Chains A and B, each alone.
Chain A
Amino acid sequence: MKNVLIIEDDKLISSLVRFRLNKDGYNVTTVDDGLKGMDAIDNTSPDLIITDVMIPFKNGIEIINYSKKVNPNVPIIVLSSLGEEESTVMEAFSLGASDFVPKPFNPNELAIRVQRLINN
């Protein structure tokens, strides 16, 4: 079973995404801030990471940086809120984010992206 890590401070969204991904048979861990996220990257060795850009204590960019250092092969999907500056998106990609999903998003679509990235 593949591990997916979700770093998102809105609990409802993370539980919803977890619900959706559980259905596809993934083992999902959710954490609500950047520091816990880094711990989880070390401890659960996820096969894919979904992270929000604006999270407490760290931002998504730093999570990408950290994850790429620990294991450069883990794909990362970045969620972002409306009104996010373009530069963040550019930065996320330049650091090696695999995909970028702007909020509002469609969970089914997200599930498809997860599947595609994990199977690659």
Chain B
Amino acid sequence: MTFFALLLFFSLQAQQPEPEEDFVPVPVEEVLSKGLEIPGVRFVYSVSLPSNIDASGYALNPPSSANLWATDTLQFFIDAKALQDSIYKHHNVLGEIQSFLFDETISEEGLQAYFDNLLRNELYIIEEAQVSEDVNVGELIILGNKIPFKPFYRLKIQILTDIRMIILISFLTFFVLAAIVLVIVIFIIKTNKRNKDILVMRFKDLCYEPLSNLLFEKSLEDIQNMSKGDIAGILPKNLMHKPLFKDVLIQEIISLNKNMKGDFKLKLKLVYRKLDLDKHTIKKLSSKRWDIITTGIVEINEMDVVEAEAKVAQFINHENFYIRSNAVATLLNISSDSDLKVLADQKYPLSKWQQMIYYRIIRYTKNNRNVSFLLESENESVRVFGVKLIRYLGLVDQLEFLNNYYPQAGDPEKIEILRCFNMFGFVESLDVIYADLKSENKDLVKEAVSLIQNIGDKISLVALFELSQVTEDFDIKKAAMKAIYTLNKIVFEEYFGESADDWERKICLHLNDPVLTNV
């Protein structure tokens, strides 16, 4: 409170009205004709004289054209005036006095305004004696009292104070508003969350008894013959229309479905459909929140809502990672597409996370695993994943294709293909592989060495030895030496047994260490 009182005090200070009558205007002619100088103001007198008159005696400069004679710039008005009077007296020509303010001509009004300004800002002070000789001293004092005392720098400080005031007030307001908004938001969120948690807990407790009843007391046919009303009758009344209750119920059904086997699964799915929960699930797909859409997709996946396939398909290239990944996973799971086309059409690169999910689905649910579309995909990460699948799932019939494809494959694909060859000990000709020993890509070289280590022959030893001598990379050298060691220990001893090279000696020791061979 005191703070705001202070603020008020300050703002009153700042708003104190500016006195208007802070100077007495004085006509500029009056000052000039007294022979006083006004800073910055100069005068030029010019006159047109008949050509026969030589006016150089008058301190006038000879004319350059049109017989116009003019003075230099003069500091005092009265000098110009005197010259004008003198010319008029002798030649009967008046001429003109022009005023200049900092070398620019200025009109009479302009001059007056400028002078007023000087007076107002106390840059020009008319001395007592000069104002008027006949004003008496008493009046002057009264006049003086009308001008408030105001030192020069005081003005600036007032402005600065004002800026600071403005900043302080504006950011106080901002802070108070922001804090209030934050507190309200947090409070609302927290209350909502707590209320929701309590409700969810209650709903969960309410679910389990009816679900247990349905699962253990009723056979599949019983449930088949029940209507929606019958089943809803077992569940708590008045809750079936609540979306949150439906969500909880779906969650519980899904969780049971994951953990149960046999006809329990069928029963759960039947209950799910009989209660029209599938419609609730599909509705989620049109939500604006990504997590609700994703929840819907996950539910479709878990409960095999095949009729929603087309709707899920529109999300497979969605920009949101979770929507996209779950949509693809769902389609892999529920659609009849055994060619994994949905994967082949992926526009975004496949992350490892997605590969993990898709691999599990393909491994556990797909009987027909045709990866050929993946290998022809335009998306490199999909092709790489296709090669991985060949290795993980043991699809040996594709090795021939990989063999033909290898020379034109990119490095990430080559690495996977080599791993694949390594796994199955398959390769038609090592020549292409030798070529890759010269690659700049360290991982590719290491993978090639590892393959050669497993299926190499006598010629390989030469290639590996060459690599071990050429390479400047420790890991590659180690891999190459290990490969030689594995292929032929006698040759290895011949090559490296007496080596003086520091790295080679260390690697020899490493390879000969019995503890390390286990690792």
User: Interface on A for B, CB 8 Å cutoff?
Assistant: 10-13, 15-16, 19-20, 23, 103-109
Given contacts A16-B211, A16-B212, A104 and B204 within 8 Å (CB-CB): no
Does the CB pair B252–A104 fall under 8 Å? no
15 of the cross-chain contacts (CB-CB < 8 Å) are A10-B255, A11-B208, A12-B252, A16-B212, A16-B215, A16-B256, A103-B259, A104-B258, A104-B259, A106-B260, A106-B261, A106-B264, A107-B216, A108-B262, A109-B262
CA distance A20 to B262 in the complex (A): 16
CA distance in complex: A104, B265 (Å) = 10
What 0/1 readout, one digit per residue, does chain B (214-226) give for beta carbons within 8 Å of chain A?
0110000000000
Seen from chain B, the residues whose Cβ lies within 8 Å of a Cβ on chain A are 204, 207-209, 211-212, 215-216, 252, 255-256, 258-262, 264-265
Answer whether A13 and B256 are a contact pair too, CB < 8 Å, given A19-B212, A23-B216: yes
**Given known contacts A106-B264, A107-B264, A13 and B212 CB-to-CB distance under 8 angstroms:** no
Q: Told that A10-B259, A104-B258, A107-B260 touch, could you supply 14 new A-B pairs with CB distance under 8 A?
A: A10-B255, A16-B211, A19-B208, A19-B209, A19-B212, A19-B216, A104-B259, A104-B265, A105-B259, A105-B261, A106-B261, A106-B262, A107-B215, A109-B261
What is the CA–CA distance of A16 and B259 in the complex, to the nearest angstrom? 11
A116 CA / B153 CA spacing, docked (Å): 101
A104 and B212 contact, CB distance less than 8 A: no
Chain A residues with CB below 8 A from B261, complex form? 104-106, 109
**Closest CB of chain B to A84's CB: distance in Å?**
13
A12 touches B256 (CB 8 A): yes
Complex Cα–Cα for A33 and B422 (A) = 45
The 3 closest A-B pairs by CB, nearest first: A19-B212, A106-B261, A104-B261
Docked CA distance A92–B204 (Å): 32
Main secondary structure of the interface of B (DSSP, over half): helix
Do residues B216 and A12 form an inter-chain contact, with CB atoms below 8 A? no
B260: chain A residues at CB < 8 Å are 104-107
The CA of A15 and the CA of B209, in the complex, are separated in Å by 8
Nearest-CB residue, chain A, relative to B207: A12
Q: How far is the CA of A104 from the CA of B261 in the complex (A)?
A: 5
CA distance A16 to B252 in the complex (A): 11
The distance in angstroms between the C-alpha atoms of A107 and B259, with both chains bound, is: 10
Contacts of A20 in B (CB 8 A): 212, 216
B208: chain A residues at CB < 8 Å are 11-12, 15-16, 19
- B212, B264, B265: which contacts A15 (Cβ < 8 A)? B212
> In the docked arrangement, what's the CA distance between A3 and B122, Å?
105
B204 proximity list for chain A (CB < 8 A): 11-12
Complex interface: chain A residues within 8 A of B262 (CB): 106, 108-109
Nearest A-chain residue to B216, judged by Cβ? A20
A13 to B254 CA separation, bound complex (whole angstroms): 12
Bound CA span A105–B259, Å: 6
Docked CA distance A103–B260 (Å) = 7
With both chains docked as a complex, state the minimum distance between the C-beta of B280 and any C-beta of chain A, in angstroms.
19
A108 to B212, CA, bound (A): 12
By beta carbon, the residue of chain B nearest A20 is B216
Could you tell me the distance in whole angstroms from the C-beta of B220 to the nearest C-beta in chain A? 13
> In whole Å, how far is B260's beta carbon from the nearest beta carbon of chain A?
5
**CA of A10 to CA of B258 in the docked complex: distance in angstroms?**
12
- Chain A min CB distance to B117 (Å): 83
Instruction: Provide the bound-state CA to CA distance between A109 and B259, in Å.
Output: 13
Task: Output the least CB separation between B357 and chain A (Å).
Answer: 12
Q: Which residue of B lies closest to A8 (CB)?
A: B259
By beta carbon, the residue of chain B nearest A14 is B208
* Minimum distance in angstroms from B255 CB to a CB of chain A: 6
- Closest Cβ of chain A to B248, distance in Å, is 10
State A10–B216 Cα separation when bound (angstroms).
19
In the docked arrangement, what's the CA distance between A19 and B209, Å? 8
Residue of B nearest to A102 (CB): B261
* Distance in Å: Cβ of A99 to nearest Cβ of chain B: 15
- Most chain A CB neighbours (cut-off 10 Å) among B258, B261, B264: B261
CB neighbours (8 Å) of A106 from chain B are: 260-262, 264
For A83, the closest partner residue in chain B by CB is B360
Contacts of A105 in B (CB 8 A): 259-261
Closest beta carbon of chain A to B258's beta carbon, Å? 6
Closest A residue by C-beta to B211: A16
- In the complex, what distance in Å separates the CA atom of A105 from the CA atom of B262? 8
Chain B nearest Cβ from A117, distance in angstroms:
19
Residues of chain A within 8 A of B256, CB atoms compared: 12-13, 16
Give the distance in Å from the alpha carbon of A105 to the alpha carbon of B256 in the complex: 10
Q: Say yes or no: B258 contacts A12, CB within 8 Å.
A: no
Name the A residues within 8 Å of B255 (CB-CB). 10, 12-13
A61 to B264, CA, bound (A): 28
Chain A residues in 8 Å Cβ range of B209: 19
- In the assembled complex, the Cα of A76 lies from the Cα of B186 at a distance in Å of 47
Nearest B residue to A104, CB-CB: B261
CB proximity of B424 to chain A, nearest CB, Å: 24
**Which chain A residue lies CB-closest to B213?**
A19
Bound CA–CA A86/B208 (angstroms)? 32
In Å, the complex CA distance between A108 and B260 comes to 10
Q: Determine the distance from Cα of A106 to Cα of B256 in the docked complex, in whole angstroms.
A: 11
Q: Which of A16, A20, A103, A108 has the most CB of B within 10 A?
A: A16
How far does the Cβ of B452 sit from chain A's closest Cβ, in whole Å?
Answer: 32
- Complex CA gap A10/B256 in Å reads 10
Question: A108 — which chain B residues lie within 8 A by C-beta?
Answer: 262
Which residue on A lies nearest to B265, using beta carbons? A104
B347: min CB distance to chain A, Å: 30
A103–B261 CA distance with the chains assembled, in angstroms: 8
Instruction: Give, as a whole number of angstroms, the nearest-CB distance from A28 to chain B.
Output: 13
Q: Separation in Å of the B186 CB from the closest CB of chain A?
A: 29
Give CA–CA (A11, B258) in the complex, Å: 14
CB contacts (< 8 Å) of A23 on chain B: these are: 216
Residues of B near A15 (CB, < 8 A) are 208, 212
B252 — which chain A residues lie within 8 A by C-beta?
12
